[in-house]
Structure 1
């Protein structure tokens, strides 16, 4: 079968290859992949994965054969795959714990946009009550950011979306942002929670706007820059503030189900900024690296 595998050469980050058919264990389903969801991190930091390995973590498709131990969705079910390795192939063997059943009325391509981009902000925003709290989302024009804005607004937060340029602000107010900014300084706002996808100097700037008892959750570092805190800024009185890392790769099935239910109810939309064919994966990756995509990239598996 055909798959996109990790390519460490200058022609990368991925290439097409013929690979062996997956052989599911008793606790795995065999899924025919119809759509894949690209993420900036897994493409930009491809050196972290072994060359030649089937790449990708997010997809959607149809269950060809249910897990033989009786767990998970039956054959024929439409499913979303989230944070599961080796997803960018024509077929994959996957634990039902990483699957969410796609309800009627939800486009299978939209379901492929969930995974890392949807589950990450869901888990971060569940760490505390957000009702009438102030939340800052950095890199809000990306896939994670657009899901984060919607989910924070659904939770009752006052949401500020931070983007890199006015052009990338389009649609964020419609998703629930109360404010859309291109610079964090000078607002006078204090944030109870910051969901940061950018890293670099922006983390230090966000720290200066963090309310007592607030937390910055680091979920990405798309800037690739170092973070330096000016002398004395990490000292303070009052309720402690904190910075939390995020690398939760535990099974996503329950979270995917919650997100898919919100989509079925019309309360959450998939921020697909680029839709195409997986044959054009290199063009899609370059558009993602060049910040030309607002939201997620979803490619159809022919």
Structure 2
């Protein structure tokens, strides 16, 4: 079968190659991939790929071989899945607890845009706790996670301030429910009950300074790729007794397939709108990865298999 494999070359980070078709374990279904999405974090990993590494975590397709242990969807079932690797290929083996059925009303590109960003957003808000009436500051809001967080939090009754440098992306975040859109963390007023921080560098101390007393800052990324320096005494200037919490989307009590099914249901009902900035044939994956890395794509980028 054909699959995309890393090259280590920033100009052309992946190429199509012939690889063996996967042999599923007993708890895995074999899925024929119709579409997959790529994430900006994956572009960073491609800079120094591990030997034999096969990227790809977000897919939509058709189950062509159910799991041998009887779990999960049956044959010829449309699904969205979140394998830990190998999804940028014609076929991928996916654990059944990382699969959810995809109704005909949700196109494959929309389904493929859901897993990593959608799971991160929904689990991030669950970690934040009840958000009804609470003021939330969201940095790095113009990516795939940021669009989902904004729409989900606003629908749950939060007052969301979204930080994005791009005016066009800010307008879309306002459409999704952001009450305020600012182009720099320094322009956010606060105080905020919750800060969701994904940028790192200078942004995190600035965001922390806008946190309310005994508020919570959840740190879920470092898109700037710049280390953070915090001063203990800065807490006394406002965010006294605040909590700073590290977040990773796989550290959750709920199963992936349950949360995937919830995201699919909200999308099918028109209550969640995957923000897809590009849909292209998978022959264009290398250029798409470069554009995503360099922030030339808003929201998610999806590749389809012809």
Q: Hey, what does 1:275 align to over in structure 2? A: 279
Residue 284 of structure 1 pairs with residue 288 of structure 2: yes
**3-state SS in 2 of match to 1:15:** strand
Check the 8 A contact 2:213/2:240 in 1, yes or no. Answer: yes
Q: Name which of 260, 266, 275 aligns with 2:264.
A: 260
Corresponding residue number in structure 2 for 1:125: 125
Matches within 5 A, 1:222-233: 222-230=223-231, 232-233=233-234
Aligned partners of 1:167, 1:286: CA distance in 2, in Å? 21
Displacement, 1:174? 1.0
Q: Work out whether residues 58 and 81 of structure 2, in 8 Å CA contact, stay in contact via their aligned partners in 1.
A: yes
Extract unaligned runs of 5+ from structure 1: none
SS at structure 2 position matched to 1:171: helix
> Which residue of 2 is the match for residue 299 of structure 1?
303
Cα 1:117–1:191 shift into 2, 3 Å: same
Distance in 2 (alpha carbons) for counterparts of 1:102 and 1:173: 28
Change (3 A) 1:46 1:76: same
Give how far 1:12 is off: 4.3
Q: Is the 8 A contact 2:3 2:17 kept in 1?
A: yes
Partner of 1:233, secondary structure, is helix
Aligned to 1:163: 164
| SS at structure 2 position matched to 1:170 | helix
Shift of 1:293: 1.1
Residues 131, 158 of structure 2: 8 Å contact kept: yes
Tell me how far apart the structure 1 counterparts of residues 222 and 187 of structure 2 sit (CA, whole Å).
23
Q: 2:83 and 2:244 mapped to 1: Cα distance? A: 24
| 1:177 aligns to 2:178 (yes or no) | yes
Q: Deviations over 1:166-208 (max 9, x none)?
A: 2432311111111111022244311122222211110110000
Distance, in Å, in 2 between the alignment partners of 1:211 and 1:145 is: 22
Provide the C-alpha distance between the structure 2 equivalents of 1:130 and 1:10, rounded to a whole number of angstroms.
41
Q: CA deviation at 1:49?
A: 4.4
Structure 2: runs of 5 or more not aligned: none
Cα distance, 1:48 vs structure 2: 6.0
Answer yes or no: is the 8 Å Cα contact 2:83–2:93 preserved in 1.
no
Q: What are the superposed Cα offsets for residues 272-299 of structure 1, whole Å, 9 maximum, x if unpaired?
A: 0111111111111121122111100001
Give the Cα–Cα distance (whole angstroms) in 2 for the partners of residues 97 and 26 of structure 1. 12
Q: How far did 1:103 drift?
A: 2.3
Q: 1:232: Cα distance to partner?
A: 1.4
- CA gap of 1:237–1:210, structure 2 versus 1, over 3 A, is closer
Question: Counterparts of 2:226 and 2:46 in 1: how far apart (Å)?
Answer: 18
Partner of 1:208: 209
Give the aligned CA root-mean-square deviation in angstroms: 1.9
2:243 matched to which residue of 1?
A: 242
Residues 7 and 52 in structure 1, CA contact (< 8 A), matched pair in contact too = no
- Deviation per CA, 1:43-77, whole angstroms, max 9, x where unpaired? 12325642332211111101001111110011111
Tell me, in whole angstroms, the C-alpha distance in 2 between the residues paired with 1:71 and 1:34: 22
After TM superposition, the structure 1 stretch with the greater mean CA deviation from structure 2, 163-172 or 74-83, is 163-172
Residues 184, 205 of structure 1: 8 Å contact kept: yes
Give the superposition deviation at 1:249: 2.5
**What is the Cα deviation at residue 83 of structure 1?**
5.1
C-alpha separation in 1, matches of 2:238 and 2:166: 35
**TM-score (ref. length: structure 1):** 0.94
* Cα deviation 1:7-39 (Å, max 9, x = unaligned): 223444322221111001111100000101100
